[in-house]
């Protein structure tokens, strides 16, 4: 995986430079520079337009009590597409526009989701979490695997609690609360 990323980070700029030089030979220097600037401006406008639309869908789904999974994927694709469009180059512009237009974005998201699912099923992709305690709403699984020790368990008898008094001397009194901002202390 790291070798692929290294190859990508070395080869992508070389391919971009080659394509920009070819377009420059075909169109000329000034039209090529204008094309690069125009794709940046158009990309920024598209990111803003699609981002606002996606944010509105996100808020609507939350207001209805739905989980906005697809909308979050759209937002991530728009963010990555915008970054690609702000990067000068022909290949990055093509990928950026593909991530910004909803039909091609859906196709690319389907491809990425299928690839991720295959990687998770085959074991090539591992998901790890950090921290302690109960994980993601599953009280009997802390997400630990292997011989890393037992999962976190609350102390016997449950978490410690402090008794609160009822003002009649039947228990501990509540400690004094700290002053609120702007409150006059006497």
Break the chain into its structural domains and give their ranges.
2-116
- Cα separation, 18 vs 89, whole angstroms: 9
- pLDDT recorded at residue 132: 60
Q: Residue 170 above 60 pLDDT? A: no
Q: Residue 34 above 80 pLDDT? A: yes
- Cα separation, 1 vs 53, whole angstroms: 35
- Cα separation, 164 vs 171, whole angstroms: 6
pTM of the model: 0.60
């Amino acid at each position: 995986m790291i070798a692929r990323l290294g190859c990508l980070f070395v080869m992508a700029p070389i391919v971009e430079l080659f394509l920009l030089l070819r377009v420059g030979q075909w169109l000329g220097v000034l039209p090529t520079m204008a094309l690069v600037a125009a794709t940046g401006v158009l990309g920024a406008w598209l990111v803003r337009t699609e981002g606002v639309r996606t944010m509105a869908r996100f808020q609507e789904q939350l207001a209805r009590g739905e989980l906005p999974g697809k909308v979050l994927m759209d937002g991530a694709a728009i963010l990555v597409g915008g970054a690609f469009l702000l990067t000068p180059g022909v290949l990055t512009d093509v990928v950026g526009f593909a991530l910004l237009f909803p039909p091609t974005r859906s196709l690319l998201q389907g491809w990425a989701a299928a690839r991720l699912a295959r990687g998770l099923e085959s074991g090539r992709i591992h998901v790890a979490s950090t921290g302690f305690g109960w994980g993601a709403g599953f009280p009997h699984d802390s997400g630990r695997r292997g011989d890393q020790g037992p999962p976190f368990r609350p102390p016997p008898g449950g978490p410690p609690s402090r008794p609160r008094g009822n003002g009649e001397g039947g228990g501990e009194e509540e400690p004094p609360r700290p002053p609120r901002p702007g409150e006059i202390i006497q």
